[in-house]
Structure 1
Amino acid sequence: MFKTKPFLALLLLVIMSLVGGFVFMLNSKDRDKKETITLTIWEGEKSILHLPLYVALQEGYFKEQGINVKLVARSGNTGNNPYTDRITDLILTDPVECLYRKSINPGSPLIITTIASRDGTFLLGRKKEVFSWEKLNGKNIIAYPPETGPGLALDQKLRAENMAPMLDVNLYIRIPRDLRLSAFKSGSGSYIQLAGPEAVKAEQNGTGYISACLGEETRVFPSVLCAAWPETIDRHPGAVQGFVNAIYKAQLWMREEPELGARAVKNHFHNLDKKISNQLLEKYSKINMWQPGPWVDNATFNKIEQTMEVAGQLAVPVTYGYAVDNSFARRAAQIIKYIPKEEREKSWFRKIFD
């Protein structure tokens, strides 16, 4: 009888502790919900180059960081401009647009991380051949305008091969976007520069043959950057850090577990043929499109800035320290480490004894 009372007291204490812990956990969840910040992200249009963003959404990496993410796409309204209307907190952009905006407006967004590290376009030729860049000398290419990322990547590569755009190589850069492929089919141009899905599909349809991958040829070229308004950084530095952490985690996990990217493509690109997406993912993975290197280094930035200056695309020169804030990306690289799948799948009980 005397032993029963201490046992009951101990049992009651355990029950009270469990209830108290449960109540505390519920209150903590409520507090977390109140403190959760939603960041709006301009992505313009869906692109397979944005894949780390979709993987982070799919796998819950943003929620792990205590933030919500809302994607904003381009609408039919031509006045819908993220740089002038300030309709989002963060902007997915190419380096040309970002640097140009910074050159005309000092208060424009700062580059905080890299989403895709290579150019994603391909050169499609009319015949299957062993390609070399010298073959472009004197040829006509249906290319992207120089004020776009893909246009700058091609410009940069041609100059590296000692060919002057519009002098040694003729570039058709003003053909409307929806007429480019039709123009090539009708006989214009010896080559055409196409986005990844378009190029792979065109080759499968017999329109031409992929001659070169710009991302492989130009090496590091951050085709998709994420830029944040200075006010967003000032107001929500923790949320911005959480966003960059989630993107970096997605890049790390994608490198080790390619199935994550394939699943995200399936979930976000319903109209993309599986054969095309698989081939494209294989090509992009081969050139380290989403390499886990989230910051923009000084040398890469200067090369892009100098190419834009030569092409007359900057109102005034833009310096590295003026346009880039690498603090969030470098912090993410310090704190986010890949955990092997088998390690993650261990039960808490095994972890204790291991």
Structure 2
Amino acid sequence: MMKKGKVYLSIALLLVCLSLFGCSQETKKTVRVGEVTHSIFYAPQYVALSKGFFEEEGLDVELKTTWGGDKTMTSLLSDGIDVALVGSETSIYVQSQGADDPVVNFAQLTENDGTFLVAREKIENFSWEQLKGSTFLGQRKGGMPQMVGEYVLKQHNIDPKQDLELIQNIDFANVANAFASGTGDYVQLFEPTASIFEQEGKGHIVASFGSESGKVPYTSFMAKESYLTENEETMKKFTRALYKAQKWVDEHSAEEVAKEIAPQFEDTSLETIETVVDRYKSQDSYAKDPLLNKAEWNQLEEIMKEAGELPKNVDYTKLVNTKIAKKAMEE
């Protein structure tokens, strides 16, 4: 009788375990993330995925590329995604249109510009002065790459409207192809395209916009205020996983980071990925924590103002939620 009782007890315990396992599976929270582009510039995000940091927090992160700030924001506002990874300037644009449900930045991923100035010809001793009189193939008007590009030019006493021919009517996805086809003397490119062009002899990297622009919340995770309010605990878990990844990237070599994120970039050689990661790490492009501070926000507004794209100054506390990042970092 005693033996039979033990068997029943074991079965009961097993059923309880299976029940608990089933419950844990059911309560796993899905977070749909839309990234503005797919780039090595976002290495910590891919590390958080590959190392299982999101899973450790009980999250199932569904990542898709939404290709462009306008499309990313449209997807967020229409509830096609829960979280957007995009330039912080987009939250200001939405606010300026009188949004009832503001888009709020809650975790920073990159803290300077990720583009490079690529020249068609090899230049041994480059100076920004050499851009005067040239044709410059820039990025989309109103986007962070273009605004930072113009800001840096002005810092070097170059008027982008008067001192050179500025082309900025080409779609983001086609800028590199336009340059490769012969348009422009200089072009502003993201990695790994800039390094690949250099390897193929299509262009030569002569300067970094990130090194010149100073700290700025170039790319941040953001969500509608209502979503953050209703899912604060989930977003804290999300940010905690991101912070783990940011620390991992900071503490490991470019080679180790490259190997970790390589599956995300199957068409790019491991050597190129490592080169790009090393370049971004050396200029502190990857934020070391998710906290977006006020000085960086002010720099963002200054850059937008210089470009003539700032509708109006927006209070830092209105569009930046620091509570989630601070809690995630403390824990």
TM interval, short-chain normalised: 0.7 to 0.9
Does structure 1 retain, via aligned residues, the 8 Å contact 2:30–2:62?
Answer: yes
Aligned to 1:304: 300
The one of 207, 222, 247 aligned to 1:227: 222
In the TM superposition, residue 234 of structure 1 has moved relative to its aligned partner by 1.6
Greater displacement, 302-311 / 322-331: 302-311
What's the CA shift for 1:278?
1.9
User: CA contact under 8 A between 1:83 and 1:101: conserved in structure 2?
Assistant: no
- 1:278 and 2:270 equivalent? no
Among 78, 84, 101, which residue is 1:91 paired with?
84
Structure 1 residues 293, 133: CA separation in 2 closer, same or farther (over 3 Å shift)? farther
For the residues of structure 1 that align with 2:30 and 2:173, how far apart are their CA atoms?
35
Question: Which residue pairs with 1:74 in the alignment?
Answer: 66
Which of residues 226, 238, 244 in structure 1 aligns to 2:239?
A: 244
Q: Give the residue type in structure 2 aligned to 1:87.
A: G
The CA deviation at 1:52 is 1.4
User: Separation in 1 of the partners of 2:159 and 2:39?
Assistant: 30
Per-residue deviation, residues 244-298 of structure 1 (Å, max 9, x unmatched): 1111110101111235521343111111122321211111121122231311111
- Superposed, 1:170-319 pairs within 5 Å as 170-177=165-172, 179-185=174-180, 187-258=182-253, 259-319=255-315
Task: Quote the Cα distance in structure 2 between the aligned partners of 1:42 and 1:50.
Answer: 12
Aligned to 1:34: 26
Alignment partner of 1:293: what SS?
A: coil
Indicate whether 1:60 and 2:52 are aligned.
Answer: yes
In 1, distance between residues paired with 2:71 and 2:249? 36
AA at the equivalent of 1:92: L
Q: Secondary structure at the match of 1:194?
A: strand
After superposition, give the CA deviation of every residue in 1:15-69 in whole Å (9 maximum; x if it has no partner). Answer: 9999887766544433322322111111143222222121111111111112211
How far off is 1:178 after superposition? 5.3
Instruction: Report how far residue 155 of structure 1 moved.
Output: 1.7
Task: Give the greater-gyration-radius structure (CA).
Answer: 1
Range that drifts further, 322-331 or 135-144: 135-144
Question: Are residue 46 (structure 1) and residue 41 (structure 2) matched?
Answer: no
Identity fraction in percent = 26
- The 3-state SS of whatever aligns with 1:322 is helix
Name the CA distance, whole Å, in 2 between partners of 1:186 and 1:229: 40
3-state secondary structure, aligned to 1:72 = strand
Task: Measure how far apart 1:198 and its partner are.
Answer: 1.2
Distance, in Å, in 1 between the alignment partners of 2:98 and 2:289 is 28
SS at match of 1:92: strand
Aligned counterparts, 1:89-128, within 5 A = 89-106=82-99, 107-125=101-119, 126-128=121-123
**What TM-score, normalized by structure 2, do the two folds share?**
0.87
Counterpart for residue 339 of structure 1: none
Instruction: Provide Cα deviations, 1:46-102, integer angstroms capped at 9, x if missing partner.
Output: 222222121111111111112211123338xx9783144221111111123232122
Partner Cα separation in structure 1 for residue 268 and residue 77 of structure 2 = 32
Q: Report the residue type matching 1:222 in the other structure.
A: P
Take 1:328 and 1:79, find their aligned partners in 2: how far apart are those partners? Answer: 26
Distance (whole Å) between structure 2 residues aligned to residue 79 and residue 221 of structure 1: 22
Residue 177 of structure 1, CA deviation: 4.1
The gaps in structure 2 that reach 5 residues or longer are none
Partner of 1:147: 142
State the TM-score, normalized to the length of structure 1.
0.81
SS at match of 2:184: coil
| Greater displacement, 304-313 / 244-253 | 304-313
* Alignment partner, residue 160 of structure 1: 155
Structure 1 residue runs without a partner (length 5+): 1-7, 336-354
Say if 1:215 and 1:221, in contact at 8 Å, map to a contact too: no
Relative to structure 1, the CA distance from residue 79 to residue 146 in structure 2 (aligned partners, 3 Å threshold; closer, same or farther) is closer
Larger deviation, residues 149-158 vs 25-34: 25-34
| 3-state DSSP of counterpart to 1:114 | strand
1:254/1:183 Cα in 2 relative to 1: closer, same or farther (>3 Å)?
Answer: closer
Instruction: Report the CA distance shift for 1:205/1:330 in structure 2 as closer, same or farther (over 3 A).
Output: same
